[in-house]
């Protein structure tokens, strides 16, 4: 039996599940709301992926948009004060009234897609076992991480053509996004970043498709896709990175209606700190969107140099952190660059947790990983700093610790998305990191292993 529900929106009066349902309905019908909630009297815009035929007439409740969506059943949308723009879009002035007819309102929360949205710098990791001759050919050191220069440009194609290279959808936050999707149901994670229009981007698309990760890349036709050549010699890894198009992400892409609709739809946001070197305004837009909707915002410090040399944009985002994740080196760099005059990891965690906060409905949680040592967790306003011992593993099974921190963040983010407790989310992160270090590079075993839960 169909239910009919009328909603008046003079302000942002609809929250929680009902707001999520309306967002899903717009996508199902092909219309997406663009921009932030409008104040009284302002225009509210909608964009359609297919012609609205016939276009609704001005100030009319006729010609409703109708559609069916498996998650919510069939419905129709009508709006008063409709002003046509063209065959693909129209907007309304507030207050607006939308009429939704559905026979399954109760299904909306359980079936929502792309609850986690991640942002950073996508790279195609090209990993292969090499030797001293290959290192010498390109002037590389056995255990090093550098940015590519002109003399290194041939390395990426050399690895592809002449070595048994493993191709991974890399970049720290993309590793994290793949990890979260590994644990979550299908169509749970979407990732944003910049790539080129070249064969490396095509390979990257294939790699993320295999991982079940949705990506919305900004494509730059003039700049190569970012690549990281990894030459493995014994237990050493020489990493040579060319950021390429990943270094040119911009706010314009984030604000595209088809991308911003994903931002509005998401329930949790994850940003890798390396993106502070690229587009801090995009980070701030996500942070503010999270705070305005009381949605968790997770930030990774990513590297010591982010804390040291990108201090201003990092600090601008700090009030919006609901969770901040770093390792002991990044924590030490933060303390030093901010003049905290402390070296104890627990005290640094407490300092991070108790920074001023924008969204006071959530206590900030600071998480510091320490490799094989316990994970340190501090909660805003709480004196006790907790320790979570990492999962033990036979050293003989460890293949590659590169990306262990990304995997931890992926498992933790998956726990946050699913509403798990802090302890359970930490456990999920440690479990996924344990799986990852038994693989080559920042990757996860297939066929998938099911998370066993935490006793």
Catalytic residues: 406
What is the three-class DSSP state of 442?
coil
Characterize the bridge pairing of strands 43-48 and 31-33: antiparallel
Largest Cα separation within the chain, whole Å, is 74
Residue 149: exposure state from Cβ atoms within 10 A (0-12, 13-18, ≥19): exposed
Burial of 1 (0-12, 13-18, 19+ CB in 10 A): exposed
- Please give the structure tokens belonging to residue 129: 């076992």
Between CA 426 and CA 412 the distance in angstroms is 6
Half-sphere exposure at residue 27, Cβ-oriented, CA atoms within 13 angstroms? 22
How many other C-beta atoms can be found within 10 angstroms of the C-beta atom of residue 214?
18
My answer on whether omega of the bond before 388 falls inside 30° of 0, hence cis, is: no
The alpha helices in 70-183, defined as continuous H runs, are 132-137, 153-162, 172-183
Q: How many CB atoms lie within 10 A of CB 128?
A: 19
Strands, E assignment, 9-129 = 31-33, 43-48, 65-69, 73-77, 82-86, 89-93, 97-102, 116-119, 123-129
CA atoms of 419 and 115, how far apart (whole Å): 12
DSSP output for 164-216:
--EEEEESHHHHHHHHHHHHSPTT-EEEEEEEESSHHHHHHHHHHHHHT-EEE
CA angle 145, 149, 153 (to 5 degrees): 100
Structure tokens at 345: 């990891």
Distance CA 452, CA 455 (A): 9
Among 81, 100, 13, 87, residue whose Cα is nearest residue 43:
81
């Amino acid at each position: 039996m169909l239910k009919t529900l009328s909603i008046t929106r003079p302000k942002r009066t609809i929250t929680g599940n009902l707001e999520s349902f309306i967002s899903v309905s717009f996508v199902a019908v092909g219309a997406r709301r663009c921009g932030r909630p409008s104040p009284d009297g302002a225009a509210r815009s909608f964009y359609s992926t297919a012609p609205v035929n016939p276009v609704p007439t001005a100030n009319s409740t006729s010609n409703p948009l109708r559609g069916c969506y498996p998650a919510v059943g069939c419905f129709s949308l009508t709006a008063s004060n409709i002003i046509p723009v063209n065959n693909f879009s129209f907007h309304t002035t507030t207050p607006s009234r939308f009429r939704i007819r559905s026979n399954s309102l109760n299904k909306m929360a359980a079936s929502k897609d792309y609850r986690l949205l991640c942002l950073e710098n996508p790279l195609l990791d090209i990993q292969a076992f090499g030797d001293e001759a290959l290192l010498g050919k390109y002037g590389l050191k056995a255990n090093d991480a550098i940015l590519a220069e002109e003399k290194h440009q041939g390395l990426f194609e050399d690895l592809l053509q002449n070595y048994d290279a493993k191709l991974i959808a890399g970049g720290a936050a993309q590793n994290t996004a793949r990890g979260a999707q590994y644990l979550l149901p299908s169509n749970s994670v979407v990732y944003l970043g910049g790539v080129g229009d070249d064969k490396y981007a095509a390979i990257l698309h294939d790699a993320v498709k295999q991982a079940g990760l949705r990506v919305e890349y900004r494509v730059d036709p003039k700049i190569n896709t970012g690549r990281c050549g990894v030459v493995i010699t014994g237990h050493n890894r020489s990493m040579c990175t060319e950021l390429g198009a990943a270094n040119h992400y911009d706010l314009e892409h984030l604000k595209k209606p088809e991308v911003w609709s994903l931002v509005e739809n998401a329930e949790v946001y994850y940003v890798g700190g390396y993106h502070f070197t690229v587009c801090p305004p995009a980070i701030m837009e996500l942070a503010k969107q999270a705070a305005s909707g009381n949605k968790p915002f997770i930030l990774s410090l990513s590297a010591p140099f982010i804390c040291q040399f990108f201090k201003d944009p990092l600090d601008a985002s700090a009030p919006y952190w609901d969770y901040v994740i770093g390792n002991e080196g990044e924590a030490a760099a933060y303390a030093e660059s901010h003049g905290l005059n402390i070296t104890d990891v627990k005290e640094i965690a407490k300092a991070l947790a108790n920074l001023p906060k924008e969204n006071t409905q959530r206590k900030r949680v600071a998480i510091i990983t320490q490799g094989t040592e316990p994970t340190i967790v501090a909660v805003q306003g709480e004196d006790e700093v907790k320790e979570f011992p990492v999962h033990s593993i036979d050293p003989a099974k460890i293949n590659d610790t590169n990306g262990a921190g990304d995997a931890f963040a992926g498992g933790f983010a998956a726990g946050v998305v699913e509403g798990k407790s802090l302890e359970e989310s930490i456990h999920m992160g440690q479990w996924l990191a344990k799986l990852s270090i038994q693989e080559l590079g920042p990757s996860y075993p297939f066929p998938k292993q099911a998370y066993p839960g935490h006793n």
